[in-house]
Chain A
Amino acid sequence: MLKIKNLHAQVGDTQILQGLNLEVGPGEVHAIMGPNGSGKSTLASVLSGRESYEVTDGSVDFDGVDLLEMDASDRAREGLFLAFQYPVEIPGVSNMNFMKAAINGKRAHQGLDPIKGTDFLQKVKDCASLVELDGRLRDRSVNEGFSGGEKKRNEIFQMAMLEPKLAVLDETDSGLDIDALRVVSQGVNAMRNSDRSFIVITHYQRLLDHIVPDYVHVLSEGKIVKSGGKELALELEEKGYDWI
């Protein structure tokens, strides 16, 4: 599904990713943990095609295509999804128009006609109920005036709408209360299947109690420095990062 080899990336003159290797197979869930500023969000940004990040070395193969050759829109259309650590507010653009444009962008890429109005509405209904997204939030401008937790729910709602092949969740648990954490995790779990992979970036074991990973990696100073099974997260929770 995803093969990252020797990835180096920088912002301005600062080298942030320094030879990162990671392979994610179909249907797998990989957790990435690591200290603040170690490069987790940078990895997510580089994968999704944020322009301010420059890849200086390495390669990323996404289901047989060279991910780094594509712009952000095409990466999404090919099935990559990033749930933002800090979702963006876009006043004046309704959540619904936003999602319709996104779905139709992908459909056009696949040579399909725009989605039918009724199909779209049904999909909205199904996906919103999956993460218990309030109807009023669906109709408002994208993330405008949403609480921190509501924004995170909206990210997972969008993920469900877009049915990606690979979803990168960047600290989706931060800002969620206990109930919301459960709901959002259930949403993610409901979407797990043998073809869809996840990279879950988090600082806390509590998310991984709900979304149980197949692999756990520690990212430090722009590299994966340790990998293991789900028990690695428990160990990290107990001992911190110093022992690595």
Chain B
Amino acid sequence: MTGSKESFISNFKAPENSRGLRSQGDQYLVDLPVPGRRSERWKYSPISKLLNTSLNTCSGEGVVWPEEILPDPVPFLDSYRLVFRNGHYVSSLSDMPIDDDVICMPLSEVGAEFTNDYHKREWVGAMNAAYHQDGLFLKVSKNVSLDRPVVIHHLTDGADIAALPRHYIELEEGAGAEVVVWSSASEKSSGMCNGILEANVSSNAYLRVDKICNEAGEIFKFSHEYIKQERDSRVKINTFTIKGHWVRNELEIVANGPGTDSTFNGAYLPTGTEHVDNHTVMDHAYPNGTSSELYRGIMYDKSTGVFNGKVFVRKDAQQTNAFQQNSNIVADKGATINAKPELEIYADDVKCSHGCTVGQFDKEALFYLKSRGIGSDEAKALLVKAYVGDVISSVDREEVRNEILRLYSERHGWA
């Protein structure tokens, strides 16, 4: 019988490591409900189609890397690189830092402590806990900044694949790291990529993550980031959905000490019948924190989208400064977006602002451009590029920025 939650995972095989976590995962897979329309969190991102398929976790053996995809997704970036295919580490294509102050290795060789309870809250999280294959383990010692960014490249490749990567980053006090989390999928692939990234950012440390989804094929992509920040730490996360059949980005940032700074931005420009969902949570529980969130989307054709941005400012989080902005352009009649900001503010001495808009192209601006002899499509491209450019410009590394811009340009015919 297909369509039941038991049948969906019946062909999955779990590796031997991390027994404790996996058995918890198994338990919660039984206890937790499958995401469905009745749940507020999943209402606009149903997965019944996925549940009706029968997927396989595959072994890491006999890897053939497809020719059309570069193992190194940002070729000009001077970086370390960890490459994964269908959840499994591909050592021959990877290049890891060797440094006394840095531990960087496949997670399967470490067995890390996770503090996240996502697997106790969400069925999808329990699945990752029970069946994850491999991922990055990165630990940077006190007051050390990693000299180059780490690129994690995950490829989903093949039919009916269940890939479940799991990454863990630990930054000690005053440490720093930049990570690019890149996911691709080959043209004929199908199935699911269910990934988790957890990071603990100690006091005064900084973490920057640029997350890019550029997947061909028909993959259901779940991706959950859980970032815990201690006192005076800084975090910046950019999430770009360039291409993807069905993409759910979840980002949860918990400020676990005073004086934290969190910046997180995102852009999505789905076409055809693509689906993109961005769920973000910013949780301020301590005083003097700042957070700034900017998500912009353009919905083309018959695409569907979701934005849900929760900001909690808890009772003791005085002098919090929280900014949230989500704007959406619905470019074509058949496209839809469900956008919902949710602010819960329990402290009184705070500065919080938010804005959420859903609209069309600025007609006045379009006419102005056209009245100078710029064709309709090019005029739109100029406006779109400017609109998304505000998000792209928050990527610190020029090489990454340019690659994102190049891929968007190629896809959307920007000059």
Chain A contacts to B: CB under 8 angstroms = 48-51, 71-73, 75-77, 81-82, 84, 87-88, 90-93, 97-99, 101-103, 105-106, 109, 141-142, 158, 162
With A101-B378, A105-B378 in contact, do A90 and B373 touch (Cβ < 8 Å)? no
Query: Is the pair A76, B368 in contact by a Cβ cutoff of 8 Å?
Result: no
Which residue of A has the minimal Cβ distance to B393? Answer: A92
* Of B15-23, B149-157, B192-200, B381-389, the one with at least 4 CB within 8 A of chain A: B381-389
| Number of A-B contacts defined by CB within 8 Å | 79
Q: List 24 A-B contacts (CB under 8 A).
A: A71-B376, A72-B370, A73-B373, A73-B375, A76-B370, A77-B373, A81-B371, A81-B372, A88-B368, A92-B385, A92-B387, A92-B389, A93-B383, A98-B369, A98-B374, A99-B372, A102-B374, A103-B373, A105-B374, A105-B375, A105-B378, A109-B373, A142-B368, A162-B372
The 3 A-B pairs at the shortest CB distance, nearest first, are namely A92-B386, A76-B373, A102-B372
**Chain A residues with CB under 8 A of B379:** 73
Q: How far, in whole Å, are A90 and B390 apart by their CA atoms in the complex?
A: 13
Complex interface: chain A residues within 8 A of B378 (CB): 101, 105
Closest-by-CB residue of B relative to A107 is: B373
Q: How far is the CB of B395 from chain A (nearest CB, A)?
A: 16
Q: Indicate which residue in A71, A76, A91 contacts B386 across the interface (CB closer than 8 Å).
A: A91
Asked if B40 lies at the interface with its beta carbon under 8 angstroms from chain A, I say: no
How long is the Cα–Cα vector from A123 to B61 in the complex, in angstroms? 62
Known contacts: A88-B364, A90-B365, A92-B386. The answer to whether A82 contacts B376 by CB under 8 A is no
Q: Pick the residue among B363, B364, B376, B415 that contacts A101 (CB under 8 A).
A: B415
Q: Are the C-beta atoms of A101 and B382 separated by less than 8 Å?
A: yes
Contact in complex: B374, A73 (CB < 8 Å): yes
Is the CB–CB distance between A73 and B376 below 8 Å?
yes
Residue positions of B touching A, CB distance < 8 A: 363-365, 367-376, 378-379, 382-383, 385-387, 389-390, 415
Q: Which residues of A contact B369 (CB under 8 A)?
A: 90, 93, 98, 101-102
Q: How far is the CA of A77 from the CA of B374 in the complex (A)?
A: 8
Report how far A97 CA is from B379 CA in the complex, Å. Answer: 11
Q: Knowing that A48-B371, A88-B368 are A-B contacts, what are 11 other residue pairs whose CB atoms are under 8 Å apart, sorted by A's residue number? A: A50-B367, A73-B375, A76-B370, A82-B371, A90-B368, A90-B383, A91-B386, A97-B382, A98-B374, A101-B369, A101-B382
* Contact for B370 among A71, A92, A93, A97, CB less than 8 A: A71
- Tell me if A88 and B365 are in contact (CB < 8 A): yes
Question: Could you say which of B373, B389, B415 contacts A106, with CB atoms under 8 Å apart?
Answer: B373
User: CB-CB < 8 A to A162: which residues of B?
Assistant: 372-373
Is the CB–CB distance between A101 and B371 below 8 Å? no
B242 → chain A, closest Cβ, in Å? 19
Task: Return chain B residues, CB-CB under 8 Å to A50.
Answer: 367
With A51-B367, A72-B367, A72-B370 as contacts: A90 and B386 at CB distance below 8 Å:
yes
Alpha-carbon gap, A75 to B415, bound state (A)? 22
* Chain A residues with CB below 8 A from B415, complex form: 101
In the bound complex, how far is the Cα of B368 from the Cα of A99, in angstroms? 12
Q: Which residue of A lies closest to B378 (CB)?
A: A101
Q: Distance in Å from the Cβ of A193 to the closest Cβ of chain B?
A: 20
- Of the candidates B371, B386, B389, the one whose C-beta lies within 8 Å of that of A72 is B371
Residue of A nearest to B370 (CB): A72
Task: Tell me how far the C-beta of A235 lies from the nearest C-beta in chain B, rounded to whole angstroms.
Answer: 33
Tell me, rounded to whole Å, the shortest Cβ–Cβ distance linking B387 to chain A: 7
Query: Contacts A92-B389, A92-B390, A101-B382 known; A158 to B364 CB distance under 8 Å?
Result: no
With a CB–CB cut-off of 8 A, which chain B residues contact A101?
A: 369, 372, 374, 378, 382, 415
CA distance A109 to B374 in the complex (A): 10
Asked if B382 contacts A98 (CB within 8 A), the reply is: yes
Residues of B within 8 A of A87 (CB): 368
Q: Tell me the smallest distance from the CB of B183 to a CB of chain A, in Å.
A: 28
Q: How far, in whole Å, are A38 and B52 apart by their CA atoms in the complex?
A: 65
Nearest CB on A from B405, distance (A) = 13
CB-nearest residue of chain B to A159? B372
Across-interface contacts of A102 in B (CB, < 8 A) = 369, 372-374
**Distance between A159 CB and nearest chain B CB, rounded to angstroms:** 10
Q: How far is the CA of A162 from the CA of B370 in the complex (A)?
A: 13
With A and B bound together, what is the CA distance between A158 and B369 in angstroms? 11
Task: Give the Cβ gap from B82 to chain A, nearest Cβ, in Å.
Answer: 35
Complex Cα–Cα for A159 and B390 (A): 29
Q: Which residue of A lies closest to B375 (CB)?
A: A73
Q: Is the CB of A93 within 8 A of B386?
A: yes
- Could you say which of B364, B372, B375, B376 contacts A98, with CB atoms under 8 Å apart? B372
Q: In the complex, what residues of A have CB within 8 A of residue B364's CB?
A: 88
A residues less than 8 Å from B365 (CB atoms): 88, 90
The CA of A125 and the CA of B350, in the complex, are separated in Å by 49
Measured CB to CB, the nearest residue on chain A to B387 is: A92
Whole-angstrom CA separation of A91 from B365 in the bound complex: 10
Complex Cα distance, B368 from A88, in Å, reads 7
User: A141–B368 Cα gap in the complex (Å)?
Assistant: 14
B370 touches A73 (CB 8 A): yes
Residue in chain A with minimal CB distance to B364? A88
Query: A77 — which chain B residues lie within 8 A by C-beta?
Result: 373
Question: Which residues of B have CB within 8 Å of A98?
Answer: 369, 372, 374, 382
Chain A: which residue is nearest B388 at the CB level?
A92
Query: Which residues of chain B come closer than 8 Å to A71, judged between CB atoms?
Result: 370, 376
In the bound complex, how far is the Cα of B386 from the Cα of A192, in angstroms? 35
Nearest B residue to A79 via CB reads B373
Q: How far is the CA of A124 from the CA of B182 in the complex (A)?
A: 41
A84–chain B nearest beta-carbon distance, Å: 7
Q: How far is A103 from B378 in the complex, measured between Cα atoms in Å?
A: 13
Question: Which residues in B have their C-beta under 8 angstroms from that of A105?
Answer: 372-375, 378
